[in-house]
């Protein structure tokens, strides 16, 4: 049964939930990329696009315990992580010493306009309500340089579900939004992105996941 989200406190609920599960979540997802060759291929392609575009900083938005940030650094990308949850950032710094991790929200980036060579949001948009997605993509466009790539990972589906516990049985209160690639594509187009590729797949990441690659359109002249 689907549950319509009350989005008034979604940021606070998301922060508290992931603070609560940070350590157990990190334990459960630490080795997922080893089981997901198609996800590794998508990240490698993204890294190639960043390098071809001249390189530069890349933000892993909603980085959680930092596994994607660390993987991007391993394949030669100047990546750093941003997450809403201080607990997640603490775990990321513990597990990946020497890498840059910051507490922050995708709804209010503290990044300069056009300063990012690329952005990754890997299963981190799943708790953002529909009526906030346009604003989030607007922030993504603002901080990306023209032509910069945006890589999204997400759950595919239709209805949101309320998640009340997870990752070791700890209490949570988050709505998990499952979306169709076409809907995300429309939102991205409206925000000034061009979608170049998308696919769906079943893997260790998701029973039905999606990967979508877009580019920030240049400003109109």
pLDDT, tens digit, for every residue of 40-94? 999 999 999 999 999 999 999 999 999 999 999 999 999 999 999 999 999 999 9
45 within domain boundaries: yes
Residue range 135-158, pLDDT digits in tens = 999 999 999 999 999 999 999 998
144 within domain boundaries: yes
SS3 101: strand
Q: Which residue has the higher pLDDT, 25 or 194?
A: 194
21 within domain boundaries: yes
221 within domain boundaries: no
Tokens representing 180? 């169709």
What confidence score (pLDDT) does residue 189 get?
97
54 within domain boundaries: yes
5 within domain boundaries: no
What confidence score (pLDDT) does residue 8 get?
54
- Distances from the Cα of 73 to the Cα of 17, 55, 130, 196, angstroms: 27, 12, 31, 24
Residue range 84-135, pLDDT digits in tens = 999 999 999 999 999 999 999 999 888 999 999 999 999 999 999 999 999 9
What confidence score (pLDDT) does residue 2 get?
40
2 within domain boundaries: no
What confidence score (pLDDT) does residue 5 get?
43
Task: Answer yes or no: is pLDDT of 1 > 50.
Answer: no
3 within domain boundaries: no
Domain of 186: which CATH number? Answer: 3.40.50.150
DSSP conformation class of 84:
S
What confidence score (pLDDT) does residue 204 get?
77
- From the CA atom positions of the chain, what is the Rg in Å? 16
Range of the domain at 68: 10-216
Number of domains, the chain: 1
* Burial class, 64, CB count within 10 angstroms (exposed 0-12 / middle 13-18 / buried 19+): buried
What confidence score (pLDDT) does residue 207 get?
84
């Amino acid at each position: 049964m689907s549950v319509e989200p009350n989005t008034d406190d979604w940021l606070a609920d998301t922060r508290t939930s992931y603070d609560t599960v940070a350590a157990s979540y990190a334990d459960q997802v630490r080795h997922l990329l080893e089981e997901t060759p198609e996800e590794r291929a998508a990240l490698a392609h993204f890294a190639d696009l960043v390098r071809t575009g001249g390189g530069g900083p890349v933000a892993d938005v909603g980085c959680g315990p930092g596994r994607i940030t660390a993987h991007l650094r391993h394949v030669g990308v100047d990546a750093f992580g941003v997450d809403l949850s201080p607990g997640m950032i603490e775990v990321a710094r513990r597990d990946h010493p020497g890498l840059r991790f910051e507490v922050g929200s995708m709804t209010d980036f503290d990044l300069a306009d056009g300063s990012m060579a690329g952005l990754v949001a890997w299963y981190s948009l799943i708790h953002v309500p529909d009526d906030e997605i346009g604003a989030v993509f607007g922030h993504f466009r603002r901080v990306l340089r023209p032509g910069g790539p945006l890589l999204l990972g997400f759950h595919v589906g239709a209805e949101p579900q309320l998640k009340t516990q997870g990752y070791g049985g700890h209490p949570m209160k988050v709505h998990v939004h499952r979306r169709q690639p076409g809907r995300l594509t429309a939102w991205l187009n409206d925000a000034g992105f061009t979608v170049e590729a998308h696919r769906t797949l079943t893997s260790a990441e998701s029973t039905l996941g999606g990967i979508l690659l877009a580019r920030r359109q240049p400003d109109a002249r």
